[in-house]
């Protein structure tokens, strides 16, 4: 029986896919972990690379050729096809630590928690440096089942690559990402949490999250260009959070949800006021975003206001992205 399904969305990733898939190519994972290679209409050799792994170890790898490039729809397809007890996502330009993935498979055999969190490292593409992000360093107790998700606020940033959900939970709640929209990993990190009732941290260092690649959707240039995608995602999250708060005000996940929603609302101001090259348009959109928050979730505005005001001031001073990055680095050193 598969204890874990790993979804790997792929679009034109031949430059990094071999490194990613090789980290699951281990006989200790055979019949226990399935890797769904979601080839989203790639125009390079990605499909051929995935086929080679499928041929070599079909008990682990499965290729799903898809006509759409949509990240969200590919993850939705993977969830529908998943045979694993738990489900997680690994982006094609990232990879995992095989030894600790084997240990995760062992732990999931008897695990009953709705959510299982593991540690990760941020790998800087430009320098090769890896920085460990450990939940234990922020106070999380490994091996303990949490029913109050407030702990997630203290160990932020939690990322999709470090998060496994019980597959049954995702199906029970009908979870689905928006299609033809980027940044939907935020939906994965919050919406199922609203319906989860138990959380487990494991002392395992599994995910390798690559940054500093200008082609990534998370790069400042792409965040600016695709700011409407970010807006769609945040609006959906805010809507679902407010609905859940109204229906079940005692939901133990609401503390975490509020924390993450406020960070997302503030993050959008940074995209609009610092990242966007068209500064006039960015300032206009920021004003509209503030009005949206005040109208839709007025009780959240005080928690977002300070960051928004700082970013408004930096924008008025014509602080560019490079200068903003220098100021942020200098502030963090203090």
Q: List, as one string, the DSSP characters of 140-169.
A: --TTPEES-TTHHHHSPPP-GGGEEEEHHH
Domain shared by 70 and 197, yes or no: yes
Query: Mean of the per-residue pLDDT values for the chain?
Result: 94
Say if residue 101 is in the same domain as residue 190: yes
Measure the CA–CA gap between 105 and 297, rounded to whole angstroms.
41
Which is nearest to 216 in space by CA: 188, 184, 182?
182
Strands (E), the chain: 4-10, 33-40, 61-66, 86-89, 95-96, 115-124, 130-133, 145-146, 163-166, 199-211
Q: Where does the pLDDT of residue 328 fall: very low under 50, low under 70, confident under 90, or very high at 90 and above? A: confident
3-class DSSP state for residue 69? coil
| Domain range enclosing 242 | 220-333
Determine the pLDDT at residue 71: 93
Indicate the angle between helix axes 254-270 and 279-296, nearest 10 degrees. Answer: 160
Spatial CA neighbour of 13 closest among 68, 77, 93: 93
Burial of 217 (0-12, 13-18, 19+ CB in 10 A): middle
Please state the rounded mean pLDDT for residues 96-100: 98
pLDDT exceeds cutoff 60 at 47: yes
- pLDDT tier at 79, thresholds 50, 70, 90: very high
What does the alpha-carbon distance between residue 217 and residue 234 come to, in Å, rounded to a whole number? 16
Instruction: Looking at the structure, tell me whether residues 88 and 181 fall in a common domain.
Output: yes
Rounded to 5 degrees, φ, ψ at 46 are -60, -45
Q: Which of 211, 243, 274 is the last residue of a domain?
A: 211
Query: Do 133 and 167 share a structural domain?
Result: yes
* Together in a domain, 232 and 118: no
Q: Are residues 48 and 125 located together in one domain of the fold?
A: yes
Q: At what angle do helices 279-296 and 301-316 cross, to 10 degrees?
A: 170
**Residues listed for the chain:** 334
Phi, psi of 164 (to 5 degrees): -115, 135
**What letter would DSSP give residue 263?**
H
Q: Are 191 and 240 in contact (CB under 8 A)?
A: yes
Determine the average pLDDT of the residues in 282-287: 98
Structural domain total, the chain: 2
Percentage of residues of the chain with pLDDT beyond 70: 96
225 and 207 belong to one structural domain: no
| Residue that has been written with the tokens 């395992």 in this structure | 204
Per the CB < 8 A criterion, the answer to whether 63 and 74 are in contact is: no
Among 86-100, 126-140, 180-194, 293-307, name the one with the lowest average pLDDT. 126-140
pLDDT at 332 (0 to 100): 46
CB atoms within 10 A of CB 126: 9
Least confident of 20-24, 128-132, 291-295: 128-132
**pLDDT given at position 126:** 80
Q: Last residue of some domain: 184, 211, 238?
A: 211
Specify whether 14 is located in the same domain as 134.
yes
Q: Are residues 207 and 295 in the same domain?
A: no
pLDDT in tens, 170-180: 999 999 999 99
CATH number at residue 133: 3.90.550.10
**Rounded Cα distance, 262 and 186, in Å:** 13
Domain co-membership, 199 together with 235: no
Nearest to 252 by CA among 323, 176, 151, 116: 151
Residues 192 and 309 in one domain: no
Report the pLDDT value the prediction gives residue 218, as an integer from 0 to 100: 60
Give the pLDDT score at 334: 43
Asked whether residue 46 falls in the same domain as residue 190, the answer is yes
> Which of 159, 191, 211 is the endpoint of a domain?
211
Rounded to whole angstroms, the Cα distance separating 109 from 147 reads 21
pLDDT, greater one: 88 or 327? 88
Eight-state DSSP code of residue 28: G
CB 192 within 8 A of CB 199: no
| pLDDT (mean) for 41-59 | 96
């Amino acid at each position: 029986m598969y204890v874990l399904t790993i979804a790997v969305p792929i679009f034109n990733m031949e430059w990094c896919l071999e490194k990613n898939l090789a980290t699951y190519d281990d006989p200790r994972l055979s019949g226990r972990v399935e890797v769904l290679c979601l080839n989203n209409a790639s125009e390079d050799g990605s499909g051929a690379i995935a086929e080679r792994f499928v041929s070599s170890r079909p008990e682990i790898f499965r290729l799903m050729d898809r006509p759409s490039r949509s990240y969200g729809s590919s993850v939705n397809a993977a969830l529908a096809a998943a045979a694993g007890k738990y489900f997680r996502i690994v982006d094609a330009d990232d990879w995992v630590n095989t030894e600790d993935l084997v240990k995760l498979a062992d732990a999931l055999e008897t695990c009953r928690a709705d959510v299982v969190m593991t540690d990760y490292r941020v790998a800087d593409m430009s320098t090769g440096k890896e920085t460990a992000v450990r939940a234990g360093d922020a106070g999380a107790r490994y091996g303990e089942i949490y029913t109050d998700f407030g702990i997630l606020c203290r160990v932020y940033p939690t990322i999709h690559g470090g998060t496994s959900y019980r597959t049954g939970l995702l199906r029970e709640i009908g979870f689905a990402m928006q299609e033809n929209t980027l940044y939907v990993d935020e939906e994965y990190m919050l919406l199922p949490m609203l319906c989860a009732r138990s959380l487990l941290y494991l002392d395992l260092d599994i995910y390798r999250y690559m940054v500093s690649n200008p082609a990534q959707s998370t790069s400042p240039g792409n965040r600016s260009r695709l700011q409407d995608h970010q807006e769609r995602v945040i609006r959906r999250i805010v809507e679902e959070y407010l609905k859940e708060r109204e229906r079940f005000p005692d939901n133990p996940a609401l503390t975490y949800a509020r924390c993450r929603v406020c960070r997302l609302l503030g993050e959008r101001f940074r995209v609009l006021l610092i990242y966007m090259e068209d500064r006039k348009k960015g300032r206009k959109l920021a004003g509209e975003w503030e009005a949206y928050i005040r109208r839709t979730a007025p009780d959240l505005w005080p928690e977002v206001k300070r960051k928004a005001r700082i970013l408004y001031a930096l924008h008025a001073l014509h602080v560019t992205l490079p200068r903003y990055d220098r100021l942020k680095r200098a502030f963090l050193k203090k």
